[in-house]
C-alpha cells in the first residue's frame, strides 16, 4: 500500500530532496509530489504559456492559474500533506496549501521553527502534528508504516 | 502516478488525436478518456440499442441517455478535464461537461478561440486556466509532471 | 416551508417577471433569486468596481468574477433551479448554471423551445423535467406544493 | 433571505466596523460574524479558561484551540467570506481562513493592498474576486442583492 | 426546533392523515411532506403538463419525471423519513424512497406488516427502526422530542 | 482502466453468468461483483455465523446484516451498477440496491421486462438507461469503452 | 443567529440542567438538544414500543435502535457538540457520540476529569477543546458569541 | 480486487495475528492495517519525536497527535473496519475508531464478548454486524469474497 505525500512550502532550500532521500533509505512506500520548485519557472510560467501580460499583476495572475492547477491536481491525489515554514518570506502559499489540506480532511504534518510559534498557533493547532525539523517529520511518516507482526 | 484526463468538447476536428500524440511523445503518464467521437454513432446509439423511437425528440432522448451514462462513468474517473470550444455549433455539451467538472472539483483547462471570449467569460473564469490552442493546453498538462529533483 | 428557486437563463425577455407574478397569484411559498438581469450592468460591473482594465478580455474577466460570485452565493441557497433557453445567442451561461445545478444535486426544470431539442438533448436528459413554456414550468413548481389533506 | 458573512483578517484596524455600518446604511440583509477582534483577549483566552500553561508555546496552543473552535463554528454558518490582508504582520490566520473558505466551497472576496500582489498571487487566483479597498468589497456584496424587478 | 418528516409509501390508505392528526394532538413540532397522494393525478400529471405522449410507457416516463422532481425537492428538505409498506402492490417507489433516505444519511422508520418480514429483511436492517403500525412509528417520532428538564 | 460493475437483482436465473461471458468475449476491462447468488446460503448465513436465532424474523435480521455488509462493501467499490428485475417476486432488494446506486451518484442501467413499466416508472426515470434484455445492457456497457482513435 | 448544541454524555448527574441555566442567565442564543436523560426509559423504550423481546440482548438491541434514531436526528441538526465523561461507567455512548461529531466535522468540546487524561488522550486530541468542568465548557461556548462592536 | 481492512481495538492480545493468519490460509485478497500495537511505543512516541513534555498530560497529548495521524491516514484507506472490544480497560480508542468508521460510511464488524452487550448496545446497533469471536468476524469477511460462478 503506497501513500502519496504532498510536500508544501518553501522552495528556497533543498528540504524536499532531504526528505526523499531519507524516505528512500528507509524504503518507505511513499510517492512524493509537490509544487514547482524552480522559483523562476514558477513565476514566469504564465507568460511562457499564455503570452506577455499587460503588467506585473496580470503576469502574476497568469502564473498563479497554472501553479494552482498543478497544486490542485496533485494535492487531490495525496493521502497526507507535509508543510514546511522557513524563517523568511510571507509564505502565504504554504499557509494556503496547509489549510486546504485540513479542510479536505487530509492529515497534515507542519514543520516550523520554534520562533514562529506565535503567528502560526492557529494553523499549528489545526495540523495533526507540528514539528521543528525535517527529520522529525520523517519519523512521524515512518511511524505510519511500523508493524509489529508483518 | 498516472492521471486520467477527460477530453470534453467538439468531435468534428481531430484535436484529441493531436493531444494524445503529443502527450505520448513527451511520455506523460496520462490516460485520456472522453465522449463518443463518432458523431453519427453518438446520434443513433439510442435507437440502435433501444429500438426505433416515436419521433426525433424521443430518438434524441434515447441517445442522450446512453451518451450521458458513458460521459458520467468516465468523468467520475478523471483527475483533470480539458474542454475545447470551436468556432461553430451550439456546443452546449461542452459547456455542460466543463461546468460539471468545476462543480465536482475536478480541475479544468478551457481551450477556446479568442473570438469567443465574451460569451464564455463566466465559464472561463470558473476554469483553472483558459488557453487558445491545444498546444498551450498540453504545456499546462506537461507542467504538472515537471520535477527538479527526480 | 418556503423554497428558494434560482432562475437561470436569458436576461433579454421578461420571463422571470412572468413566473414571479404567476407564483404570487397562486400564493406559492417561493423566493426567487437569479443572476443580474440588467445586461449592461452585468457587462460593466467589473470595471465599475475594479477600475478600467487593459482590454476587452480583461474587462470580461473582471465582470465575470463578480457575476460568478453572485451566482454561486445564490445558487448555493437554492432548493430548485429553473433554466430557460431562448432561440438566440450562445447562452453558455445558461448551460453552465443548469449543469452546475445537476452536479450539485439540485433538481432542475429546463425550459427550451422544441426547435432546440437536438443540441440540448444531453442537458435535457440530465434535467428532471424539460418543458417548452414558462407556464408549464410553473405547473411543475406548483405541483410540488399540492396537498390532498392539508 | 439573509446571508451570513464571515469577516476574516486583521484585527488591528476597524475595517469590520466600517463594513458593518455601510452595509447597514444600504439595508443589506446581512449578518456579519468573525474572529475575536480583541487581540489581547484572543491571546489570553487559553490561559483564562484552561489555567496557566507551562510556557509560551503551550499558552499559544491553549488559546488557538478556543479561537479555532469559534472560527470553525462561525465559518460553517457563513454563506460568504471576506478576508482582508493589511500591510503588516505575517497574517497567516487570514491566509488560513481564506483558504479554508475556498476548500469548503464558500465564495471568497479578498481585500489586499496592491503592493502584496506577488506573495498573494495564488490565493488571489483562488478567491472569487480580489479588491483593494473595503469599499470595493462592499460594492461586490451589495451587487448580490440588486434586483431589477422586485 | 421544527423537524421536517417525509412520509413515503402507499397512497391507497389514509395513514398519512392518521399520523398527522396524532402528531398534532401531541403538539409535536413537525412539518410533514410527501409524494402526491392522489393516485389518478400522479399517473396523469405527465400528460397534463407535457401533453399527450406516444404510448403508455412514454406517458409513464413523463409522469415519473414530475413525480420524481417533487419527491427529490421534498426529501432533500427532510430530517427524517417514515416509509410504510402495505400488504398489496409492488410498492417499488416505497423501497426506492426508503433506500434513498438511507443512502442520504436521513434516519428512516420503516412500517411494514409482520407478514412481509422476509422479502423486506435487508431494507429493514438498513432502517433505523422497523415497526408494524402507524401508532408505533408515532411513538418513535414522539420520543425524539421528550425532555426531562425543559 | 478497469471498471468495477455491481450486478444487482434476481438470483434465480443465470443472467450474471451470461453477462460475464459476453463481456469476456468482448474483452471488456470489467470486474463484476454482486450479492451472494446462492439463495439458500444467503438466507441461512445469519444463523450459520451468529448461531440459532429465536424465530424467523430474528433469523432474517441476522442474515440481512451479513448480506448488507457484503453488498455495501462491494457497491462502494463499483463504478457502475446494473440492476435486473424479473417477472416474479417482490424484488425489494433490487429496488433497494438500484436506488442506493442512484443516491450515491453511481450510474445505473436498469433491466426490466416491458410488462413492469408502470410500477417501475419512477425508478426507471432515475436510472441512466432502462433496457429490456441483458444483451442491451451489455451493449450499453460496451459503448463506454468504444474508441475511434486508440 | 441561534446555535444548536448537542449535549452528549452521562445521564446520571444534572450537568445538562446546569449548563442550560447558565446559558440562559448569559442570554446565549443557544438551543440545547441531547439523548434521552431518563435512564430507565432509555433502557426500556425498545420493549415499550416494539413489544417484549426474546432475551436481554434483543431487548438492548430494540432499545438501541430507537435511542440511535433520536441521537442521529438531533446531532445532524447540531452546530456544536459538548461531550462529558464522568468518573464511572464504560461511557461508550459518550465516546461514540463525540467521535461521530468529529467525523461529521462538528466542533467538539470535551469535558473530562483530569484523572481520565490517559485513556482519553486520543479522543481529547481530536476534540477542539478539552476542559475539566462544565463551567469551563460554558466559557468556551460564551466566547463564540462575544463581540467588540455590536 | 483487494480490500483494505482496518483492525481497531485492543493491543493486549494477539487477535490481529490470528485474523491475519486465517485470512492468509483462506487466500483472501485482503491487506490489513491498524494502530501501533506496541503499547509502550504508542505511549512514548510523542516524547520520542517531539522531546520531553512538561508533564504526563502533555506527554499524552504529544503521543496522541502522532497516533491519531497514523490512524487517520490508514483508516481513510480502509474499505472495511473490524473493531474488537475485550473484557478489560476503558477501550475508548476502540469506541472512537468504530464510531469514526460508521460516520465515514465504512462498513463495521464489531467483536465483543456477550457480557458487554448492555454498555455497547448503541454502538453494536450502528455496526453492520456484531459477533463474539475473531473466527466469526473472519467468516463474515470471507463471505464477501464467495462467488458461485467465478
Instruction: Look at residue E148 in the predicted model and tell me its pLDDT.
Output: 64
Which residue do the cell numbers 457497491 mark? F75
The H helix count followed by the E strand count for chain G is: 6, 5
One DSSP character per residue, H8-77 reads: EE-SSS-HHHHHHHHHHHTT--EEEE-S---HHHHHHHHHHHH---SSHHHHHHHHHHHHHHHHHHHHHH
Residue F118 CA neighbour count, 13 Å, CB half: 9
Q: Tell me the C-alpha to C-alpha distance, in Å, between residue C21 and each of C15, C28, C30, C110, D149.
A: 10, 10, 11, 19, 11
All residues at 6 or more sequence positions from F6 whose CB lies less than 8 Å from its CB, including other chains: F32, F33, F34, F74, F75, F78, F80, F81, F82, F97, F101, F106
Whether residue F23 has pLDDT greater than 50: yes
Q: Is C58 on the interface with A (CB under 8 A)?
A: yes
Q: Cell numbers for B107, please give them.
A: 480541475
Q: What's the predicted TM-score (pTM) here?
A: 0.96
Smallest Cα distance from F136 to chain E, Å: 18
Distance of CA E148 to the CA centre of its chain: 30
pLDDT digits (tens, 9 = 90+) for G31-66: 999 999 999 999 999 999 999 999 999 999 999 999
The answer to whether the CB of A121 falls within 8 A of the CB of D61 is yes
Q: Is C129 on the interface with E (CB under 8 A)?
A: yes
- What phi, psi does G52 have (nearest 5°)? -60, 140
Average pLDDT over residues A45-74: 97
**In chain B, pLDDT over 90 holds for what percent of residues?**
91
The answer to whether the CB of H42 falls within 8 A of the CB of G122 is no
Subunits next to F (3 or more Cβ pairs <8 Å) are B, E, G, H
Smallest CA-to-CA distance from F44 within F60, F27, F20 is with: F60
Q: Which among E30, E146, E150 is the top mutation candidate for probing chain G, defined by the most G β-carbons within 10 Å of its own β-carbon?
A: E146
Spatial separation of the C-alpha atoms in residues C119 and B92, rounded to whole Å: 7
Whether residue H45 has pLDDT greater than 80: yes
Question: CB distance B49–F144 less than 8 Å?
Answer: no
Distance of CA G142 to the CA centre of its chain: 18
Whether residue C150 has pLDDT greater than 80: no
Mark whether F and E touch (3+ CB pairs within 8 Å).
yes
H-helix or E-strand spanning residue H129: strand H129-131
Q: Is G72 on the interface with E (CB under 8 A)?
A: yes
Question: CB distance A58–C55 less than 8 Å?
Answer: no
Instruction: Look at residue C119 in the predicted model and tell me its pLDDT.
Output: 95
Q: Is D104 on the interface with G (CB under 8 A)?
A: no
All residues at 6 or more sequence positions from A150 whose CB lies less than 8 Å from its CB, including other chains: none
Smallest CA-to-CA distance from E3 within E112, E103, E140, E95 is with: E140
- Coil/strand/helix, residue F24: helix
* SS (HEC) of C17-41: HHHHHHHHHCCCCEEEECCCCCHHH
Average pLDDT over residues D123-131: 98
Smallest Cα distance from E102 to chain F, Å: 8
Whether residue A150 has pLDDT greater than 80: no
What's B81's DSSP letter?
Answer: E
Mark whether H and D touch (3+ CB pairs within 8 Å).
yes
Q: Is G88 on the interface with H (CB under 8 A)?
A: no
- Coil/strand/helix, residue B111: strand
* Residue C12: burial class (beta carbons within 10 Å; 0-12, 13-18, 19+): exposed
Q: Cell numbers for B94, please give them.
A: 461542452
Question: CB distance A50–B136 less than 8 Å?
Answer: yes
Spatial separation of the C-alpha atoms in residues A70 and B142, rounded to whole Å: 10
Q: Cell numbers for F81, please give them.
A: 451498477
Q: Which residues of D touch C20 (CB under 8 A)?
A: 149
Q: Cell numbers for H22, please give them.
A: 486465517
Q: Cell numbers for H37, please give them.
A: 500495537
The mean pLDDT value of chain E amounts to 95
Residue of H nearest to A145 (CA): H70
Instruction: Look at residue A115 in the predicted model and tell me its pLDDT.
Output: 95
Which residue do the cell numbers 504538472 mark? B144
Distance of CA D64 to the CA centre of its chain: 16
Spatial separation of the C-alpha atoms in residues B150 and A31, rounded to whole Å: 11
Q: Is E129 on the interface with G (CB under 8 A)?
A: yes
Whether residue B87 has pLDDT greater than 80: yes
* Residue H102: burial class (beta carbons within 10 Å; 0-12, 13-18, 19+): buried
Residue burial C70-80, b: 16+ Cβ < 10 Å; e: rest: bbbbbbbebbb
Q: Cell numbers for E110, please give them.
A: 420503516
pLDDT digits (tens, 9 = 90+) for C28-71: 999 999 999 999 999 999 999 999 999 999 999 999 999 999 99
Q: Tell me the C-alpha to C-alpha distance, in Å, between residue B76 and each of B72, B73, C116, F78, F107.
A: 6, 5, 28, 12, 10
Q: Tell me the C-alpha to C-alpha distance, in Å, between residue D94 and each of B66, F95, G145, G146, H106.
A: 47, 49, 20, 20, 35
Question: CB distance D68–G139 less than 8 Å?
Answer: no
Q: Is F12 on the interface with E (CB under 8 A)?
A: no
Direct distance between the N- and C-terminal alpha carbons of chain B, in angstroms, rounded to an integer: 13
Q: Cell numbers for F6, please give them.
A: 455491481
Question: CB distance H64–G103 less than 8 Å?
Answer: no
Spatial separation of the C-alpha atoms in residues C94 and C85, rounded to whole Å: 7
The answer to whether the CB of F96 falls within 8 A of the CB of E103 is no
Q: Cell numbers for E14, please give them.
A: 389514509
Question: CB distance E124–F89 less than 8 Å?
Answer: no
Q: In what order do the strands lie in the sheet with H30-33?
A: H30-33, H3-9, H80-84, H108-111, H129-131
- Coil/strand/helix, residue B145: helix
pLDDT digits (tens, 9 = 90+) for H118-136: 999 999 999 999 999 999 9
Q: Which residues of C touch A58 (CB under 8 A)?
A: 54, 58
The mean pLDDT value of chain C amounts to 95
Whether residue D150 has pLDDT greater than 60: no
pLDDT digits (tens, 9 = 90+) for B88-134: 888 999 999 999 999 999 999 999 999 999 999 999 999 999 999 99
pLDDT digits (tens, 9 = 90+) for E40-71: 999 999 999 999 999 999 999 999 999 999 99
Spatial separation of the C-alpha atoms in residues H21 and H17, rounded to whole Å: 6
Mark whether A and B touch (3+ CB pairs within 8 Å).
yes
Spatial separation of the C-alpha atoms in residues H49 and H42, rounded to whole Å: 12
Q: Cell numbers for C48, please give them.
A: 465599475
Spatial separation of the C-alpha atoms in residues C131 and C140, rounded to whole Å: 9
Q: Is H58 on the interface with D (CB under 8 A)?
A: yes
Q: In what order do the strands lie in the sheet with B80-84?
A: B30-33, B3-9, B80-84, B108-111, B129-131
The answer to whether the CB of E86 falls within 8 A of the CB of E13 is yes
The answer to whether the CB of H121 falls within 8 A of the CB of G63 is yes
Smallest CA-to-CA distance from E109 within E90, E135, E89 is with: E135
* Bigger pLDDT: G124 vs B12: G124
Residue of G nearest to F55 (CA): G54
F115: number of Cβ within 10 Å? 10
Q: Tell me the β-bridge partners of B5.
A: B32, B80
Subunits next to E (3 or more Cβ pairs <8 Å) are B, C, F, G
What's B114's DSSP letter?
Answer: G
Q: Is D149 on the interface with C (CB under 8 A)?
A: yes
- Count contacts between A and C (CB, < 8 Å): 6
pLDDT digits (tens, 9 = 90+) for H22-35: 999 999 999 999 99
Question: CB distance D131–C50 less than 8 Å?
Answer: yes
Instruction: Look at residue D55 in the predicted model and tell me its pLDDT.
Output: 95
Q: Is C51 on the interface with A (CB under 8 A)?
A: no
Smallest Cα distance from E122 to chain F, Å: 5
Instruction: Look at residue D148 in the predicted model and tell me its pLDDT.
Output: 64
Q: Cell numbers for C59, please give them.
A: 474587462
Smallest Cα distance from A116 to chain H, Å: 16
Spatial separation of the C-alpha atoms in residues E92 and H91, rounded to whole Å: 43
Q: Cell numbers for C94, please give them.
A: 445558461
Residue burial D93-122, b: 16+ Cβ < 10 Å; e: rest: bbbbbbbbbbbbebbbbbbbeeebbebbbb
Mark whether H and C touch (3+ CB pairs within 8 Å).
no
The mean pLDDT value of chain D amounts to 95
Instruction: Look at residue D147 in the predicted model and tell me its pLDDT.
Output: 87
**Topology of domain A3-35+77-145, CATH:** Rossmann fold (3.40.50)
**In chain H, pLDDT over 90 holds for what percent of residues?**
91
At F148, the pLDDT band (50, 70, 90 cuts) reads: low
Instruction: Look at residue C89 in the predicted model and tell me its pLDDT.
Output: 84
Q: Cell numbers for B109, please give them.
A: 483547462
The answer to whether the CB of D69 falls within 8 A of the CB of G140 is yes
Q: Give alpha helix (H) positions in G56-91.
A: 56-77
At D71, the pLDDT band (50, 70, 90 cuts) reads: very high
One DSSP character per residue, D26-70 reads: TT--EEEE-S---HHHHHHHHHHHH---SSHHHHHHHHHHHHHHH
Beta pairing, strands A108-111 & A80-84: parallel
Amino acid at each position: 500500500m503506497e501513500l502519496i505525500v504532498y510536500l508544501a512550502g518553501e522552495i528556497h532550500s533543498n528540504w524536499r530532496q532531504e526528505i526523499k532521500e531519507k524516505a528512500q533509505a528507509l524504503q518507505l512506500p511513499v510517492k512524493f509530489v509537490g509544487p514547482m520548485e524552480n522559483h523562476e519557472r514558477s513565476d514566469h510560467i504564465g507568460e511562457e504559456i499564455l503570452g506577455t501580460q499587460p503588467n506585473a499583476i496580470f503576469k502574476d495572475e497568469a502564473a498563479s492559474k497554472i501553479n494552482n492547477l498543478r497544486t490542485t491536481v496533485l494535492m487531490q491525489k495525496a493521502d497526507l500533506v507535509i508543510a514546511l515554514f522557513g524563517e523568511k518570506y510571507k509564505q502565504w502559499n504554504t499557509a494556503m496549501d496547509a489549510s486546504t489540506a485540513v479542510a479536505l480532511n487530509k492529515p497534515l504534518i507542519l514543520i516550523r521553527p520554534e520562533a514562529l510559534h506565535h503567528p502560526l498557533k492557529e494553523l499549528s493547532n489545526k495540523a495533526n502534528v507540528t514539528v521543528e525539523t525535517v527529520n522529525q517529520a520523517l519519523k512521524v511518516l515512518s511511524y505510519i508504516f511500523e508493524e509489529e507482526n508483518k
